Amino acid sequence: MELVDDGESGRASRVRRRRRSRVLSRYAGHPVRLILRYVGRHKAAHAVVLLSVIFAVGCALGSQYGIRNLIDALPTGRAHPETVIRAFSLLVMLILADNLFWRVAGWVSARAFVAVTGDIRRDMFDYLAGHAPSFFSDKQPGVLSSRISATANAVYVVENTVAWTALPPSLTVVGAIGMVGAVSVPMSLALVAISAALAYGLFLLARRGTSRHEAFAEKAASIDGELVDVIGNMGLVRAFCAMPMESRRFDGHLAAETDARKRSLLYLEKLRLLHAGATCVLSACVLGWTVWLWSIGHATTGDVVLIGSLGFSILHGSRDIAVAFVDLTQHVARLGEASVTLLTPHSMPEPTKAAPLELGHATIDFENVTFAYPGRRPVLQGLNLHINAGERVGLVGPSGAGKSTVLALLQHFYEPNSGHVRISGQDISNVTMQSLQAAISIVPQDVTLFHRSLLDNIRYGRPDATEADVRRACEDAHCLDFIAAMPDGLNTIAGDRGAKLSGGQRQRIAIARAILRDSPILLLDEATSALDTGSEIAIQAALERLMKNRTVVAIAHRLSTLQSFDRIVVLNRGRVVQDGAPAELAAVPGIYRDTLARQFRRTSRPEL
């Protein structure tokens, strides 16, 4: 009995991914907790950055104290030069230390902050890949990709804003108030009260603007989605001369996004203007208070300089804190919006105790399966179907009969509403996706290729295949000739979704990919629909070799391609209405015979 699995390391990796997915979903809509999660992965580096900033701010405040000592030492400096020298030396050392600690913080953060963004992108991509196909059918690819980038970028900006814009003035305000208290306790207490009131007022006002920032984040993501949607379908746009219409549509989205951004930024500017006015008034009051203390002999000249400087540091620091907090509010709002979209709980999570698929005989069973797409009537209704190992079965029926749904359920793209889908007697809902996918190869009707070389596309399902293996698969799929005619052969870039190839060429590449993958179960979804008659004859020979000793399930509207199959299963309204060998069904009244007759009349009709 064959075990379709990738060993202990693969199982351990899947366990880690499942655990990480369960944990990540808890952070949807909790941006601060999400940031702390990734900061925690690099504790030592972030601790170094934090301590370096603290020491740097301490040295900067100490420099102001050093200036005060130097000023007070100058009147008696000629008589006692050692006093001036000590004050000067202390000031120089504090300035040097200040710059050194900032450089240490910058050097370490350049590694730590970038590492955090890399971790986020990696985890978000892995989590996104775990969503069921229904999730992607409801979302634009551009919106999802932009949200991954927006999440990582928002965290990077938040970290930088905290480290360089919010934390230094916060520490400066605290340290400066302490130093002012050494000269004038009443002034220190007043500055504490004023700074706290100012910060709290700005906090309340900033929180009221959160909805504006979230609206901007949503509109910005929709712009990315619209761009990807139009660019990805540019051929269709040009074919219908729809560029003016698309320009107008994009202008509408752009106007909404621009308006949302303008309202977000103008609200921030109002807060900054309010704080700037308050700072001007309070700075004048602090300076006047300090001069009054000097006039009554309660402060030296150095104290005037020190307190005046510290007062300005406190008030300007509170301004910087408010500005930083407002900026953080905007970025955290964008992070929260992106996390809600990306970290939606998986609708079909892999069971914790999922076992690898064991393939003894590649049998397929649908046991009383009922399935309906969300918000629609059932596509399959109590479907029962057994396919023996090594049997070739063609699925036939009118549009909407459930043929493609059968293939989708077999690949576990969706969960049946009721019933079971089994391979080799095992319910595929309880096996690992890795082992299930390894057991199945598919040649789809709408062939998808990556913007990579043909070589990479063909061996996508078997990355360890040699170039010689790829060439043999291409020969069997009858695509070596057109590949050889291309400028770079197998190294030719396929273009976006294979845009540089014709439909028939893409389909033959997909057949070569399936041949190379060599899985025991083969799904053919209109595998020759894009081929001309001559190519179809050649491909049929390749498919015959490919289907040998495999369990095959094929959808085909041209019944001529199914004449060599063991069975034809006719579906109608989600149920099996006919089942038998092609010759048997051709001899009895029903959908199969009627369809066969229509196609025969169409192909035998003389050309005009």
pLDDT of residue 112: 92
Phi, psi of 130 (to 5 degrees): -85, -5
On whether residue 475 sits in a domain, the answer given is no
In a domain, 394, yes or no: yes
Residue 44 has pLDDT above 90, yes or no: yes
Report yes or no on 192 lying in a domain.
yes
Q: Residue 25 pLDDT more than 70?
A: yes
- Tell me: do 361 and 273 sit in the same domain: no
pLDDT at 608 over 60: no
Residue burial 534-565, b: 16+ Cβ < 10 Å; e: rest: ebbeebeebbeebbeebbbbbbbbebebbeeb
Where does a domain end: 281, 311, 342? Answer: 342
Q: Does the model's pTM come out above 0.85?
A: no
Residues 325 and 366 in one domain: no
Residues 270 and 412 both lie in one domain: no
Span 390-416, pLDDT tens digits: 899 999 988 888 898 999 899 888 889
- Left, alpha or beta for 549 (phi > 0: left; psi -120 to 50: alpha)? left
Domains contained in the chain, number: 2
Q: Is residue 502 part of a domain?
A: no
**Per-chain mean pLDDT for the chain:** 79
Give the pLDDT of residue 604: 58
Q: Is the pLDDT of residue 12 over 60?
A: no
Q: Among 330, 344, 341, 343, which Cα is nearest to 211's?
A: 330
User: What is the domain-level CATH number for residue 599?
Assistant: 3.40.50.300
d(CA 251, CA 246) in angstroms, rounded, equals 8
Could you tell me if 363 and 286 lie in one domain? no
Same domain, 188 and 216: yes
93-112 confidence digits (pLDDT tens): 888 988 899 999 999 998 99
Domain limit, last residue, from 309, 342, 375 = 342
Looking at the predicted structure, is the pLDDT value of residue 92 above 80?
yes
For position 257, which CATH number holds? 1.20.1560.10
Same domain, 215 and 178: yes
Enumerate residues 6+ apart whose C-beta is below 8 A from 241: none
Q: Are residues 61 and 118 in the same domain?
A: yes
Taking residues 354-360, what's their average pLDDT?
Answer: 81
Asked, for residue 5, whether it belongs to a domain, the answer is no
Task: Determine, yes or no, domain membership for 473.
Answer: no
User: Is 251 in the same domain as 156?
Assistant: yes
Supply the pLDDT for residue 3: 41
pLDDT of residue 532: 61
Domain ranges, residue 428: 356-439+551-608
In this predicted structure, what is the pLDDT of residue 133? 72
Last residue of a domain, one of 276, 307, 342: 342
**198 and 68 together in one domain:** yes
Residues 199 and 318 sit within 8 Å (Cβ to Cβ): yes
In angstroms, the CA 565 to CA 582 distance is 7
Q: Identify whether residues 229 and 119 lie together within a single domain.
A: yes
d(CA 205, CA 453): 54
**Residue 14 within any structural domain of the chain:** yes
Residues 334 and 369 in one domain: no
Q: Is residue 498 part of a domain?
A: no
- Are residues 49 and 156 located together in one domain of the fold? yes
